[in-house]
Structure 1
Amino acid sequence: MLIFSTQVDLKSHLQSVSSSKKTIGFVPTMGALHKGHLSLMAESLKENDLTVVSIFVNPTQFNNKEDLEKYPRTLDSDVEKMKTLNDNIIVFAPTVDDIYEGKTISQSFDFDGLENQMEGKHRPGHFDGVGTIVKRLFEIVQPTNAYFGEKDFQQLQIVKKMVEKTNLPVNVIGRPIFREENGLAMSSRNERLTIEEREKASFIYKILLEAKEQFGTKNAKEVAEWVEKTFNKQTDFQLEYFEIADESTLIPSKSKQEGKKYRAFIAVFVNEIRLIDTISLN
């Protein structure tokens, strides 16, 4: 398996093995790979001539220094997991200096308001960091198709908007959430949970399923109030936000309208570990 740590070496290799007729699939990750990541890679391998996977913990999208420091970094085990899929995956694991060239700062983006909801409200600057790194990686890899999981649905919409506004020739593909057997959305941050916490955290998905059922007969405000009251009774969790929003604009919903798609979004702390999840309500 080829592993590149500099953009110069990666570009050189891709130029030597690619052509206008070959498609490149790209899966950007921050490592600590799980089955959800591997499913994106499997999709890329099936649909493209070449598959590139980046493993890079991007500092500019963390507004919490401690969260950045504690984020799991498991390159060796990540590579072993990828080998079980295909030994021909091209791995790009750069340093911060190689990506940012000594200037570790975010570019400012206008995502037409998508950045002001949910995660954007609670993590100032987060989506400027996301836009900066994804744009940079797209410019380096020049993929035909790029694959993202829908657990970070707001991020998926942000990336699609960034591609649209910067005219990058990349097809952005969202794929369904992979879940643990108990329903917990797979996430690299799950590695920081104890076995007991991991089991308790299945409560988050159970709440989302109940919220979906309630949304059939109640309005968004009533469902949100029920979610907040339910979490207030739970000493193991701290609810940061719960929102029901229009899938395309991410603007919180006040009333249902025919023909629109709605989605519930949630962020919860289990001790100091922040977990997010989402579910389609249609």
Structure 2
Amino acid sequence: MQTFEDVAALWQVLADWRREGLRMALVPTMGNLHEGHLRLVDAALQHADRVVATIFVNPLQFGPDEDLARYPRTLADDQRALAERGCDLLFAPAVETLYPEGQEGLTRVSVPQVSQGLCGDHRPGHFDGVATVVSLLFNLTRPDVACFGEKDFQQLAVIRKLVRDQHMPIDIIGVPIARDHDGLALSSRNGYLDRDARTRASQLYQCLADSAQRLERGQDSEAVLTQGRRQLEAAGFRPDYLALCDATTLQPVSTWQPGSVLLAAAWLGNTRLIDNLPCRS
């Protein structure tokens, strides 16, 4: 696996691949990789001849009180993991490479509607930062396919709408959530949990599963969501939201059926965890 920080070197390799008629997949990440990230590489390999991963801790995604400074940078470990999984190229630019004129005057991308509500209400500007950097990475690499995890469900909806609205010729592949043995969704933020919090963290997924079962039995959705929030509080969480939404528009719905999704975000101590459970059948 080759690693590049320079745009010109990246473009040279990509141009060679295009001349060979090879299909390319992109896996954008912020590094500190875990099994969930590596499954994105697995999925990408199923849809393309070559896989490019990116590692970029994007400052535009972090609010003033969020954890940009302490976000783990583990490049050497990430390189080994990507190479072992079959990734062909890693693009790991500095902030100055992607934003050479700084962040203040940077042209930004905003995706309306799906960026609002849910995490959009609790992390103002976050999805503008996501859309801006993903649009930039798409322009730099021009992939045929891009793979994103379903754990960040609202982010995935934002990217899908971005691609639709801009008529980008990119297939967006959503990859199902990778979970630990107790159901906790794998996340870089899990590393912030102490032993007690890690034990309790699985209750976030349990709440989603219990809520889905209640909805399947025909219980009223508002009552189910209220009971779910109380369940999270009883487990020591401070919920930001527990919502039942349309999986495409993220607008609230009242019926648990294919095309709907339960989404949750909650604080456990100083760590904010997110998870979701789509209705697939």
TM-score, normalised by the number of residues in structure 2: 0.93
Structure 2 counterparts to residues 159-178 of structure 1, below 5 A: 159-178=159-178
Deviation sequence 1:53-111 (CA, Å, 0-9, x none): 0001111011144411121111111111112212x520000011101112225645453
Report matched runs for 1:113-124 at 5 Å. 113-124=113-124
SS at match of 2:265: strand
Equivalent residues of 2:178, 2:185 under 8 A apart? yes
Per the alignment, residue 85 of structure 2 pairs with 85
Correspondence 1:29 to 2:29: yes
Counterpart amino acid of residue 175 in structure 2? R
How far apart are 1:47 and its partner, in Å? 2.4
- Pairs within 5 Å for 1:49-60: 49-60=49-60
The 1:142–1:238 alpha-carbon spacing in structure 2 relative to 1, beyond 3 Å, is same
Aligned to 1:276: 274
Q: Offset of 1:197 from its aligned partner?
A: 2.1
- Per mean C-alpha deviation after superposition, the further-off stretch among 187-196 and 20-29 is 187-196
Please give the alpha-carbon distance, in whole angstroms, between the structure 1 residues aligned to 2:175 and 2:183. 17
Which residue is 1:97 aligned to? 96
Give yes or no for contact 1:189–1:275 (8 Å, CA) kept in 2. yes
Q: Which residue of 1 aligns with 2:232?
A: 231
Q: Cα gap change, 1:43/1:231 in structure 2, threshold over 3 Å: closer, same or farther? A: closer
Counterpart CA distance in 1 for 2:237 and 2:91 is 36
* Cα distance in 1, alignment partners of residues 262 and 228 from structure 2: 11
Q: Deviations over 1:237-265 (max 9, x none)?
A: 21111111111210112x328x7621111
User: What is the rounded CA distance, in whole Å, between the counterparts of 1:112 and 1:102 in structure 2?
Assistant: 26
Q: Partner letter of residue 271 of structure 1?
A: G
C-alpha contact 1:53 1:91 (8 A) present in aligned 2:
yes
Match in the other structure for 1:195: 195
**Structure 2: tracts of 5 or more residues without a match:** none
Pair 1:39–1:267, CA change in 2 (3 A): same
The alignment-based identity, stated in percent, is 35
Contact 1:30 1:56 in 2 (8 A): yes
Cα pair distance change 1:107/1:273, threshold 3 Å = farther
How far apart in 2 are the matches of 1:188 and 1:56?
A: 14
In the alignment, the residues of structure 2 paired with residue 183 and residue 207 of structure 1 have an alpha-carbon distance, to the nearest angstrom, of 11
Q: Answer whether contact 1:72 1:189 (CA < 8 A) is retained.
A: no
Q: Root-mean-square deviation (CA), in Å?
A: 1.8
Query: Are 1:107 and 1:129, in contact at CA under 8 Å, matched by a contact in 2?
Result: no
* 3-state SS of 1:278 partner: strand
Aligned length: 278
Distance 1:232 1:270, change over 3 A: closer
SS in 2 for 1:136: helix
TM-score, normalised via structure 1 length: 0.93
| Matched letter for residue 97 of structure 1 | E
Which residue of the partner structure matches residue 266 of structure 1? Answer: 264
Counterparts of 1:183-262 in structure 2, within 5 Å, are 183-216=183-216, 217-234=218-235, 236-253=236-253, 255-256=254-255, 261-262=259-260
Unaligned runs of 5+ in 1: none
